[in-house]
Amino acid sequence: MYNSSASTSSPPSISTSNQNSITQLASKSDYNKIIRSKLTSPTRQYPLCFKTNFANALALKVFPLPSSLLINCLVKPSAPIWGFEPGGLGQYLYSPSNSNNFELDVSEQNNLIVNILKYCGIIINDPTIIQAAAQEAQQISINEKS
């Protein structure tokens, strides 16, 4: 059972390690119809599964049952929210209690920063500046953890 509080944006890709085959994901009604038919019954080479959603969990029923599963899925990240409160001079003051950070992979951090800067009208052509900024951000996160 896979626990996730985020909703999946695409169906999971499930592969059985002993056969290196990709499992077909079907709805529960289609699964029941396919299982009953001798003509379309799943095999070890072409397994079939369906998912059921419990409270923040995903359960998969795979037929025929493989010895192991490798599951890949894409998760829809939550929307970032920049929470703020107006200051005494009308400026915006960051409010961490009302904010939600980006839920992106680390590999997307540089692309996000560069695109935000482009949106603001700043274009960085020198890759060493980007690398230096990434190293500094990494050092800051290491210092925060220790």
Boundaries of every domain in the chain:
2-72, 84-145
Name which of 3-7, 64-68, 79-83, 94-98 the model is least confident about. Answer: 3-7
Name which of 7-11, 55-59, 66-70, 92-96 the model is least confident about. Answer: 7-11
pLDDT band, very low/low/confident/very high, at 88 (cuts 50, 70, 90): very high
Where in 7-146 does DSSP place strands (E)? 13-16, 21-26, 48-54, 57-63, 69-72, 84-86, 92-94
Residue 18 has pLDDT above 70, yes or no: no
> What is the per-residue pLDDT for 134?
79
Choice between 19 and 108, residue whose per-residue pLDDT is larger: 108
Q: Measured between alpha carbons, how far is 111 from 120 in angstroms, rounded to an integer?
A: 14
Choice between 73 and 120, residue whose per-residue pLDDT is larger: 120
> What is the per-residue pLDDT for 11?
52
Q: Is 4 exposed, middle or buried (0-12, 13-18, 19+ CB in 10 A)?
A: exposed
Q: Measured between alpha carbons, how far is 30 from 136 in angstroms, rounded to an integer?
A: 52
For 101-128, what is the mean pLDDT?
Answer: 80
